Structure 1
Amino acid sequence: MISILFAVLTAISNGTASVLQRRAAAEAPEEAALHLSLLRDLLRRPVWLGGIAMSMVAAVCQAVALATGPIAVVQPIFVIELPFTLLLGGLLFHRSFPRAVWLAVVQVGGGLALFLLAAAPSGGDEAVSPGSWFPALLASGAFLAVTLGIGLKVHGNARAAALGLAAACGYALTAALMKDAMARLNEGGAGALFTSWQLYATAAIGAGSLFVLQNALQAGSLAASQPMLSIGDALISTCYGVTLFAETLRTGWWLLPQLAALALVLFGCLSLSRSPLADGLAGGPPVDADTAARV
């Protein structure tokens, strides 16, 4: 229960961070895309810094969640970050909620519940055996090379989708490294944690994933990047849980409800990210000073 609680808190913090970062990135100059000048521009925007602060809160909650539960349970819960963010943001901005938004929220929540019930992730090791990391990092690097390569060649929403998927892989890998690093903390204390390469790889890959995500948010609409980020993170994290931590999922006919659940989540995320509510919170017209102050 502790892992689920902190996973939900992570989703709320991370979703809010994504929207704040999207608002700032949407105003950045297009010529700054895929350059460090984009980060220099964003550092001057208080809204973006607020998003970074929420990301730090999310990182702490995620560390606790991963230290106390299987990665195949914790990471899929993060798909609820979009509905949580839109509902919270709608309340703050005094926006109405169309019936389609509520239906999409039910789809995401119901799809997540169905997936966890059908897959029933369980078991698993606390730490990764040293020999397992090399093939995992090699496969992750190849996947990132392909998605980033596609992102460099296309533009608009296609770039946002490709970079969103690359960011999802980076964040999933960061979660796996973080869970392994926390296992070192539990086994050998602070000394083992700060001498583990996993801790520093978590920081490096996390920073790189953040940079890729900013470019995904700047390149196109939330409808293009968010579903790839949410679904991609859940699926890739589950793969890491099974291959690196020996977590188990139900197979056989249970795969049918799992696929149905993923379809529900995907359609729900698409509906939410295409809604006028998402446009207003993520990249719509600026709000008045009083409203901004409340955020």
Structure 2
Amino acid sequence: MLAEVLAEVLAPLLALASAAAAGAAVVAQQRATHELGGTADRRLLRRPSWLAGTGASVVASALQAVALAEGAVAVVQALLATAVAWTTVGESLLARRLPGRRALLGVGLAMLGPLLVVALLGPVAAAEGPVDLTGAPVALSLLGVGAVVLAGLVGARRPGPPGALGLALACGAGYGLAASLLAVLARDPGAVLTDPQHALAAVLLLVVGPAAFVASQRALARARRAGPVVTVVLLADPLVATAIGATWFGERIAPDAPTTAGIVLAAGLAVAGVRLLDPAPDMSAVGHR
């Protein structure tokens, strides 16, 4: 009985640990960039904080891979959204001060929202057996994700902050797809050397993952505030991961109307938390753009 309970909570715990490590990575890498006056160049390789952040990022990716191998994609990606709150916690620890009331409320809501989503989803059953990456359902889901990414890139052609939201949409869809590809590889890592389908998944992951990261950085660079960008990514990533989880892995999620309403409310709490954590724009800087 104890072993079964531990097996059920292992993936969520690993996902939360991955989110915490990702938050720590952001804090450490941002500190290194600030130490260099806001520039990012090869000098970062000599900054201990940047190296520590890179190490934390690797740990976060490893924990995410193990979590995806053990649990449902929809659950893991929902819990990874708590990385936003962990970033604020890390910043406060680094500054050796408690966050203000607004930040504390934001952290609480950004944590509570994903946790409520996972609690309301309940156990997510998945089909046994490998994923057939050559099947029609997978091809259709890839076309669907591609359409979302294309819509985001078309929207990104708009100048300024509106275009940043288009990049954020493309980034969120890319992250959801990358997580699903990582789940395929993590559930049978040895097959990448023997199975052409797994080799294809690895190649796609190497393309989609970095492309989504670049889109996120460009979105943040173009936006006046981080909150709207993070909100779009936070919503698009788990939604795409949930759709792919149902298509690829047979994850069954069939909540009734009250549960669906609760999930929407929980997602709203997470979004509200992100907006509270988003600092006010620097109007002097905005005026000079």
TM-score above 0.5, yes or no: yes
Which residue number corresponds to residue 23 of structure 2? 15
How far did 1:42 drift? Answer: 4.5
1:153/1:75 Cα in 2 relative to 1: closer, same or farther (>3 Å)? same
1:127 paired residue among 117, 127, 130: 130
1:45/1:185 Cα in 2 relative to 1: closer, same or farther (>3 Å)? closer
Letter in 2 for 1:218: A
**Residues 210-240 of structure 1: CA deviation (Å, up to 9, x unaligned):** 2112212222232232222222212221222
Which residue number corresponds to residue 214 of structure 2? 211
2:185–2:198: 8 Å Cα contact kept in structure 1? no
2:23–2:90: 8 Å Cα contact kept in structure 1? no
Question: Which fold has the larger relative contact order, with Cα–Cα distance below 8 Å and residues 6 or more apart in sequence?
Answer: 1
The unaligned stretches of length 5 or more in structure 2 are 1-8, 283-289
1:106 paired residue among 108, 120, 127: 108
How far did 1:110 drift? Answer: 2.1
Which residue number corresponds to residue 81 of structure 2? 79
1:164–1:226: 8 Å Cα contact kept in structure 2? yes
1:227 paired residue among 227, 231, 246: 231
Q: Quote the Cα distance in structure 2 between the aligned partners of 1:95 and 1:207.
A: 34
1:160/1:189 Cα in 2 relative to 1: closer, same or farther (>3 Å)? closer
Q: Quote the Cα distance in structure 2 between the aligned partners of 1:275 and 1:77.
A: 26
The unaligned stretches of length 5 or more in structure 1 are 29-40, 280-295
Q: Normalising to structure 2: TM-score of the pair? A: 0.80
Which residue number corresponds to residue 257 of structure 1? 262
1:195/1:79 Cα in 2 relative to 1: closer, same or farther (>3 Å)? closer
Which residue number corresponds to residue 152 of structure 1? 157
2:193–2:199: 8 Å Cα contact kept in structure 1? no
Greater shift, 64-73 or 16-25, is seen at: 16-25
Which residue number corresponds to residue 72 of structure 2? 70
Letter in 2 for 1:75: Q
Letter in 1 for 2:24: T
Greater shift, 17-26 or 118-127, is seen at: 17-26
Which residue number corresponds to residue 270 of structure 1? 275
2:192–2:202: 8 Å Cα contact kept in structure 1? no
1:142/1:22 Cα in 2 relative to 1: closer, same or farther (>3 Å)? farther
**Residues 108-135 of structure 1: CA deviation (Å, up to 9, x unaligned):** 2222222112222511135322312211
Question: What's the secondary structure of 1:123's corresponding residue?
Answer: coil
2:169–2:233: 8 Å Cα contact kept in structure 1? yes
How far did 1:88 drift? Answer: 1.4
Which residue number corresponds to residue 287 of structure 1? none
Residue 6 (1) aligns with residue 8 (2): no
Letter in 1 for 2:78: P
1:243 paired residue among 234, 243, 247: 247
Q: Quote the Cα distance in structure 1 between the aligned partners of 2:213 and 2:220.
A: 11
How far did 1:44 drift? Answer: 4.8
Moved over 6 A (4+): none
1:99/1:49 Cα in 2 relative to 1: closer, same or farther (>3 Å)? closer
Question: What's the secondary structure of 2:156's corresponding residue?
Answer: helix
1:193/1:275 Cα in 2 relative to 1: closer, same or farther (>3 Å)? farther
2:124–2:252: 8 Å Cα contact kept in structure 1? yes
Percent identity between matched residues is 25
Greater shift, 249-258 or 16-25, is seen at: 16-25
1:161/1:204 Cα in 2 relative to 1: closer, same or farther (>3 Å)? same
How far did 1:194 drift? Answer: 9.3
